Structure 1
Amino acid sequence: MSQGHLRKKQPELVRRKLLDCAEKFAVDLGLAGITLQAVSEAAGVTKGGLLHHFQSKQILVEGMFENILKRLDAELDQAIARDHERWGSFTRAYLDTVFVGHEFGLKGPWAALSVSMIAEPGLRRIWADWLDARLRRHRESDSDPILEIVRLAADGAWLGLALRDHGTVAADIADLRARLLSLTRK
Structure 2
Amino acid sequence: MPGSAYTRAKQPEQVRRALLDCAAAIAMDHGVSGVTVQAVAAAAGVTKGGLFHHFSSKQALIEGLFANLLARVDAEIDAAIAADPKPRGSFTRAYVNAVFTGRAFGFDTPWAALSMVVVTDPPLRRLWNDWMKARLKRHRATDGAPELHVVRLAADGAWLSYITTGQTRMSAELRAVHDRLLAQTHRRV
Q: Which residue of 2 aligns with 1:33?
A: 34
The question of 1:67 aligning with 2:68 is answered yes
Task: Go from structure 1 to structure 2 and tell me whether the alpha carbon gap of 1:6 and 1:146 turns closer, same or farther (over 3 Å shift).
Answer: closer
The question of 1:109 aligning with 2:106 is answered no
Offset, 1:61? 0.5
Q: Which residue of 2 aligns with 1:57?
A: 58
Letter of the 1:139 partner, please give it. R
- Structure 1, unmatched stretches of 5+, are none
Q: Paired residues, what number?
A: 186
After TM superposition, the structure 1 stretch with the greater mean CA deviation from structure 2, 113-122 or 162-171, is 162-171
Offset, 1:112? 2.2
Offset, 1:116? 2.1
Distance 1:53 1:72 in 2: 22
Give runs of aligned pairs for residues 6-45 of structure 1, distance below 5 A. 6-7=6-7, 9-45=10-46
Offset, 1:4? 4.5
Please give the secondary structure, in 1, of the residue aligned with 2:46: coil
Deviations 1:85-104 (A, max 9, x none): 00110001111111111121
Asked if the contact 2:81/2:90 (under 8 Å) is kept, the reply is yes
Asked if the contact 1:161/1:170 (under 8 Å) is kept, the reply is no
Distance 1:5 1:146 in 2: 54
Deviations 1:32-66 (A, max 9, x none): 10111111111111111111110000001000110
> What is the alpha-carbon root mean square deviation over aligned residues?
1.6
Please give the secondary structure, in 2, of the residue aligned with 1:172: helix
Letter of the 1:87 partner, please give it. R
Q: Which residue of 1 aligns with 2:164?
A: 163
Q: TM-score, normalised by structure 2?
A: 0.92
- Structure 2, unmatched stretches of 5+, are none
Distance 1:109 1:6 in 2: 31
Distance 2:108 2:47 in 1: 32
Offset, 1:135? 0.6
Give runs of aligned pairs for residues 100-179 of structure 1, distance below 5 A. 100-179=101-180
Offset, 1:174? 2.2
